[in-house]
Amino acid sequence: MATMLIGYDVEVQDPLLGITRKFLKQMKKVHSDLDVPCTLFICGKTLEDNVEDFQSLLDDRRLFDIQQHTYSHKLLKTLVYRYEDGKIEIYKGGTLDEIREEVARTNELLRKHLGVRCIGITGPTGCYMGLIDRPDILSILHDLGIRFVRSYHMNIRDYLHWEPLPFDVQPFWYEPQGFPDMLEFPFQGFIDCSWLDSHGYDKREEYLNYVKVCIDYIIEKNLSWSYAQHDWSSITDGNRRRDSDGDTLQALSGIANRQDPGMKITRKIIEYALRKGVRIPAYNEYYQESLSNKRS
């Protein structure tokens, strides 16, 4: 059976905008109405700024699986953007000490405020090959209790706008790197903001049609799709800036409640997948099933 894993990167780090608060309210309504689980990969700083709003999700832990997205959206690996015109941009990943601090700090915040024992992480922006080539990073994550990673997203030029990761890259274990119980969830296809950046945030219906094509494809091929959206891009028009380090995408003031404040497109995506018979588990559920099957 085709499987669609819905994961939201919840990362806006300006509480004055109120974007995360509005997103959580609408997201909760959509998933509660449809009785469909999802996973929230939360930046620790974003949690600190919206503790009560995240706590409102705890009345239904079956629907809302909570994992992490580092503390401040720190890159796990250095990205080297290679543009078609030859231009190169470099965005440095965190040092090993910084990665340990970012992940450990967020784990503790999730435990303290939400009672969550975090075992999953999404690497900010994703990267080429995920962490296949970084057993040193995997070792730190494993030591901190992380057992599944969503990081394989970029193409060989570390850039995601020209071509999406193909669907034949399916979830895989980091066994050759020495971590047989760590599962990688590559996020295939265009993530929401990648497609909308390229085509326009006024093309929500066209984006919906793109997602429907992807759903039809995973049904035909019986595949798993790690589908990604964000708090800010799910409800706003996509005006963004990079922070002072160049590695965190943030929503700008004044954009909340534009384009799709009620997350109608998200609702339609889920409804379409349900009509087509696609299974939609949370990431943690899928991981536990995969681990059990692996050991049996």
Q: Find all residues with CB under 8 Å of 134, minimum gap 6, and list them.
A: 76, 77
- Tell me: pLDDT of 157 over 70: no
Give the C-alpha separation, 176 to 252, whole Å. Answer: 42
Give the C-alpha separation, 278 to 219, whole Å. Answer: 7
* CATH code linked to domain 3-295: 3.20.20.370
- Computed over every residue of the chain, the mean pLDDT equals 90
- Tens of pLDDT, residues 262-290: 999 999 999 999 999 999 999 999 999 99
% pLDDT > 70, the chain: 90
- Tell me: pLDDT of 155 over 80: no
Angle at 153 between CA 207 and CA 254, to 5 degrees: 50
Residue 226, φ and ψ in degrees, nearest 5: -90, 95
What band does 193 get if pLDDT is binned at 50, 70 and 90? Answer: confident
- Tell me: pLDDT of 245 over 90: no
What is the strand order of the sheet 120-127 is part of? Answer: 172-174, 179-184, 148-152, 120-127, 64-68, 38-42, 3-10, 224-230
Q: Sign of dihedral through CA atoms 199, 200, 206, 208? A: positive
- Tell me: pLDDT of 252 over 50: no
Q: Give CA separation, 153 vs 63, 184, 203, in Å.
A: 25, 11, 23
What band does 108 get if pLDDT is binned at 50, 70 and 90? Answer: very high
User: Which pLDDT score, from 0 to 100, does residue 79 have?
Assistant: 85
Helix, strand, coil % in the chain, rounded to nearest 5: 40, 20, 40
What band does 158 get if pLDDT is binned at 50, 70 and 90? Answer: low
- Tell me: pLDDT of 111 over 60: yes
- Tell me: pLDDT of 8 over 90: yes
- Tell me: pLDDT of 243 over 70: no
**Sequence spans of domains, the chain:** 3-295
- Tens of pLDDT, residues 85-101: 778 888 899 999 999 99
What band does 4 get if pLDDT is binned at 50, 70 and 90? Answer: very high
Return the closest-CA partner of residue 149 out of 167, 117, 116, 127.
127
User: Which pLDDT score, from 0 to 100, does residue 81 have?
Assistant: 79
Residue 254, φ and ψ in degrees, nearest 5: 85, 5
Average pLDDT value for residue range 246-272: 68
